[in-house]
Structure 1
């Protein structure tokens, strides 16, 4: 008896659930998209993704296709499936070039790679891809309100790349591989000159040059440091070091004569 009652209630729940479903085969593209958006707004992203995909397959050339394509990308993004999101946003950009969703799709394409950017110790392919896509967004849509955010995130990502190279230089220096360390410090200085790691890298390189008796090289880098970073915390120390090295250079020149 109890089993029959339970079976009845389970069947009843199933029938009620089914009665609330929608026969999407009878919907126009606009009605279907509205239904899919209701699912999206309820955060039923998995089902919404299925419906957006169905719209794209069933109604090729429809006026709501770019809308469906954009929100398909957004469903994956909200589900933290960032590679799939990036793929769908890139499809919108390629297939619906005149869509009003293109600026947002370009930003979200970059944002997807931004979310995939790992800690600085790991491979930074996604970080570089995010920078590339954010820069494309800025170049193509310079008056967009999100440009400032894109610029801020590019700076953040460049700082991460610079930190990775700077830490590599520090490791080589600790291992007393000075040539390799200076090479990495140079790379940071020239490639990431507008990050906080550039003056640190140049400062450390100067210290190595002084330690190795490379006076002319150290003086050249000191001149570069003071011209680029005159207000850096280490600037006064570098100025005093410059005076010391010039005096030492003059003494050596006098001795040779």
Structure 2
């Protein structure tokens, strides 16, 4: 017990000593000393301390090489502290301020990388994802021969998949809501239509998506159930449309596990349209 108290006391003194030292450095009017101390903190992975010092040094060292390096270290410190949104803005500021810097290439890459790290799961708003895609594309345009090119390209594909998945989840939600409600008046028709439109738009935007079959299946099923739940004056036309969709699905995905389902729908549609 005494040993534990001693260790805690020593730790408290150490933290207090570090805080006092940082405060002394922060108040120093020797800007070169503050700059070197900030670099030391950065090198030691004390990114919070480095960030606190670097914010002022950017202004205090304005017009010097140290100001340029301070801004880059500030952005990296924010990134390492997982403040990705702020880091992306600081990296962007660095790249636009110092486009010919030796750090410009990395700064451009890390604009996208910061947004990538902060991108949310597919169900949430994908504004950061779209921003990351744009930033990576800009990086590839300006630095086509960069060693980071393949990483940026892989990130782009991953981020685009996230946008596609968001559309797929939305289409599935509309489809499931269509099945949940029991009749046209309570929203079945509009939900199936929304599913069809969402899936069709996704296929136009992402024609080579690995989820192409999933979107196509949702369209086929939604068109069939839309016909099933339609009023009599709309049923014939919608059954014909559903039948065409089923044939299109089989032609495009002849080995699909859902081929039998498509054939089942075709048989039902033919029965209605021939009567």
Give TM class, smaller chain: 0.7 to 0.9
- Distance in 2, matches of 1:26 and 1:178, equals 69
Distance 2:242 2:29 in 1: 80
CA contact (8 A) 2:175 2:218 kept: no
1:149 aligns with 2:151: yes
1:24-35 alignment runs, 5 A limit:
25-26=29-30, 28=32, 33-35=35-37
Distance 1:174 1:105, change over 3 A: same
Aligned to 1:59: 61
Q: Using a 3 Å threshold, how does the CA distance of structure 1 residues 241 and 173 change in structure 2: closer, same or farther?
A: closer
5+ long unaligned stretches in structure 1 = 1-9
In the alignment, which of 220, 226, 233 is matched to residue 206 of structure 1? Answer: 220
Q: Can you list the C-alpha shifts for 1:39-88, whole angstroms capped at 9, x where unaligned?
A: 10112212211332333212211123222111100111111111221121
Larger mean Cα displacement after TM superposition, 204-213 or 38-47: 204-213
Query: Is 2:193 the counterpart of 1:193?
Result: no
TM-score by length of 1: 0.75
Q: Out of 138, 141, 150, which is 1:139 matched to?
A: 141
Distance 1:147 1:235 in 2: 38
Unaligned runs of 5+ in 2: 1-12, 179-190, 228-238
> In the aligned structure 2, how far is the partner of 1:63 from the partner of 1:209?
64
* Residues 1:221 and 1:61: Cα distance change in structure 2 (over 3 Å): farther
Equivalent residues of 2:112, 2:133 under 8 A apart:
yes
Query: Pairwise CA RMSD of aligned residues?
Result: 3.4
Q: Distance in 2 between matches of 1:97 and 1:171?
A: 45
Query: Hey, what does 1:102 align to over in structure 2?
Result: 104
Q: What per-residue deviation string (whole Å, max 9, x for no partner) do you get for residues 88-132 of structure 1? A: 111101211211211111111111111211121111111111111
Residue matched to 1:37: 39
Quickly say closer, same or farther: Cα 1:220–1:97, change in 2 above 3 A: farther
